[in-house]
Amino acid sequence: MAISFCHVLRLPSPPKSSLFSPPLKSSRIKLSAASAPSPPPSSQMDLHNQGRAKFLEFPFVSAPHRALMVNLLSKVEDRLGSQLLPCTLPLDVQHCQNESGTSQASLHIRSGLQSSPVDFILGSWLHCKLPTGAALNITSLIAYLNLSTDAPNFVAELIQSSPTSLILLLDLPPRKDLVLYPDYLQTFYEDSQLDTHRQMLQKLPEVQPYVSSSLYLRSLFSPTRIMIRIETEEGRMEEILKDHIEPVAVEVLGFWLDHCACGGGREVKEEEKAYLKKRDELVKKKSIEIDLGSNLPKLFGPELAERVMGAINDVYNL
Amino acid sequence: MAISFCHVLRLPSPPKSSLFSPPLKSSRIKLSAASAPSPPPSSQMDLHNQGRAKFLEFPFVSAPHRALMVNLLSKVEDRLGSQLLPCTLPLDVQHCQNESGTSQASLHIRSGLQSSPVDFILGSWLHCKLPTGAALNITSLIAYLNLSTDAPNFVAELIQSSPTSLILLLDLPPRKDLVLYPDYLQTFYEDSQLDTHRQMLQKLPEVQPYVSSSLYLRSLFSPTRIMIRIETEEGRMEEILKDHIEPVAVEVLGFWLDHCACGGGREVKEEEKAYLKKRDELVKKKSIEIDLGSNLPKLFGPELAERVMGAINDVYNL
């Protein structure tokens, strides 16, 4: 995402986008799949609730933009909440800012219980001042599934570099090579008619296809990905967010919840698990590389960056 | 391609495009890799020369369109000709037409010697009358490599549904999952700067991105694929073909010849051969399915279609 953003605005140094940030699993509480989860200690719930409240503020974006993000998160939590652990990142990682206060970010990560097909969900927002004086706001919600299923992940990200310019990335990135697994292509992308959503948005005169400058992201995303750029005046942008983008995002998320996160019947055979594990790990590793490696220090200073990256490296053995 | 074309023109039944037609290997002469190829019998060379002459006519397209195709084929033959067997398809398969003469096609296939990394090259043109009365012309040149290398294939296809409307597909379709093989992505697509060609064409005001309605094709093609639609007046179309499309196509083909077909150093390890073989075979099989299965009978009648499909099924054990 960082690269795609750099492409949009031709920044000398790409700011962080949280899209593919990994979960900080050191905060994960492991519960036995067999036992019902006992409620987390109240100190952990405090941490979760405080961070969550800050995250849900989405303080720098328009009301329809905020409403869209809150709606998506609610739908995920309504459906999957009972399978998710609280977010227990340290508060200063859940919400961080640089010394001058020009960069701020909020990070909300909830890992799935061992009995859940959800690996983790990650919501975030980032606000920073651009060298031009304009503000950049990136909000995202992603969900990764674990090796109990091979169903696609979910990604929604909005990149707003001015009140009149918005990039939307909305997709179910496949977890298998679609050329090698044509049945997978058919099940999740052809039979699902997912492409109709892209076609619908593409009909709006303000909408142009958006081509990320990251070839990796272009490869990672599905053939029905929605990668569009919207250029329009401020009032109309809010209208498009409310009347067009939100309904489509809700539809795509609904499909993901029904058929991927809760679809069942996608048990992964033992011999395919190694393939899936390797691919999933590569995706996470590559995403850290693109997303955080060079950007965290620039945005939040070396100290905070080191702490966050340290936790990540620890979790992923990188 | 058939599907993508159908998307363009909203035809009730998609006409054939020859893009992914397979080679008719029953006509292939196997030579020992160790021995120098002895010249094919003169009757075979006659067959080759007659079919080639007809193929090179490209009789229904504009002069710059024809010049572009002839140029590409010449470049391939100059470089790889000594590794290629003559085309020995029966003459009425090399050039076929329906009873009423409204559909015509030319097919020129040359398999590689066993010692060559080239599996086959396939050039073709198709002309047919659309229900609207307009003519459709599709010209294409594709080249598949064999299991001695994992380097990408080459595809160039022009779909012209009127003198003022053209779709260009130009790509090196990868033969590996680019998410699972990030080094492959870097070598062939990132370090090669292949995307600059797409970016250059995209700057022309007459150029729009083209999104194929086939999700399979979107998955098959690389992240630097050029899939564009050009809408402009007739004279300007010829200018764009000559001044913009031809130079880009020559550059992309040049990269493919230098680094894929003649690049060397991409020996495939034994344990990866099975993966590559399976993927290559799936691509060919799926392409036959999309391209020929339903279209040949519609365009050329059941008898000719059956003969061609019979030969293909025989070769591929489908």
Residue B126: which domain range? 49-272
Q: Amino acid letter at A194?
A: L
Buried-exposed string A79-90: b where 16+ CB fall within 10 A, e elsewhere: bbeebbbbbbbe
Selected residue of A155, A215, A289 to mutate for chain B interface (largest B Cβ count, 10 A): A215
How far is residue B151's CA from residue A199's CA, in Å, rounded to a whole number?
Answer: 33
Share of chain B above pLDDT 70, in %: 83
For residue A134, count other CB atoms closer than 10 A to its CB. Answer: 13
Residues β-bridged to residue A166: A160, A230
- Run of H or E including A135: strand A135-145
pLDDT at residue B312 tops 50: yes
Over residues A109-153, the pLDDT tens digits come to 898 999 999 998 989 898 998 888 889 999 999 999 999 999 999
- A78 within domain boundaries: yes
Residue B92 lies in a domain: yes
d(CA A224, CA A222): 5
pLDDT digits 0-9 by tens, B247-287: 999 999 999 999 999 987 788 998 899 999 999 999 988 87
Distance from CA of A279 to the nearest CA of B (A): 6
Report ipTM for this prediction. 0.86
Which tens digits make up the pLDDT trace of B161-178?
999 999 999 999 999 999
Tokens of A56: 């849900």
Q: Tell me if B10 is assigned to some domain.
A: no
What is residue B99's predicted lDDT score, i.e. its pLDDT? 83
The pLDDT of residue B177 = 97
Residue B101 has pLDDT above 80, yes or no: yes
A184 versus A8: the higher-pLDDT residue is A184
CATH number of the domain encompassing residue A203: 3.40.1500.20
Name which residue leads in pLDDT, B24 or A79. Answer: A79
Separation in Å, CA A93 to CA A16, A126, A289: 14, 13, 19
Q: What is the pLDDT of residue A22?
A: 39
Domain count within chain A: 1
Please give the structure tokens belonging to residue B42: 């003169």
| Cβ-based contacts of A215 with chain B (< 8 Å) | 178, 185, 189-190, 195, 223-224
Residue A300 falls inside a structural domain:
no
Task: Tell me: pLDDT of A57 over 90.
Answer: yes
pTM of the model: 0.87
Q: Is pLDDT of A288 > 80?
A: no
**Nearest chain A residue (CA) to B219:** A223
Q: Has residue B76 been placed in a domain?
A: yes
Residue A92: exposure state from Cβ atoms within 10 A (0-12, 13-18, ≥19): exposed
Place A303 in a pLDDT band, splitting at 50, 70 and 90. Answer: confident
Any domain includes A100: yes
Residue B109 to residue B48: CA distance in whole angstroms? 9
Rounded to whole angstroms, the Cα distance separating A174 from A276 reads 11
- Say if CB B210 and CB B227 are below 8 A apart: yes
CB-based contact (8 Å) between A205 and chain B?
A: no
| pLDDT band for position A26 (cuts 50, 70, 90) | very low
Q: B166 has which bridge partners?
A: B160, B230
Unique residue bearing structure tokens 């002069």? B63
Quote the pLDDT of residue B89: 82
A33 touches A114 (CB < 8 A): yes
How many Cβ contacts (< 8 angstroms) between chains A and B? 64
Asked if pLDDT for residue B5 goes beyond 60, the answer is: no
* B314 in any annotated domain: no
**How many other C-beta atoms are found inside a 10 Å radius of the C-beta of residue B229?**
16
The C-alpha of A185 sits at a distance from chain B's nearest C-alpha, in angstroms, of 8
Of A5-9, B49-53, B71-75, the one with minimum mean pLDDT is: A5-9
A256: left (phi over 0), alpha (psi -120 to 50) or beta: alpha
**Tokens coding A16:** 């962080």
Q: Do B215 and A179 touch (CB under 8 A)?
A: no
Residue B15 belongs to some domain of the structure: no
* Mean pLDDT taken over chain A: 84
Answer yes or no: is pLDDT of B4 > 70. no
Minimal CA separation from B239 to chain A, in Å: 26
Tell me the pLDDT of chain B averaged across its residues.
84
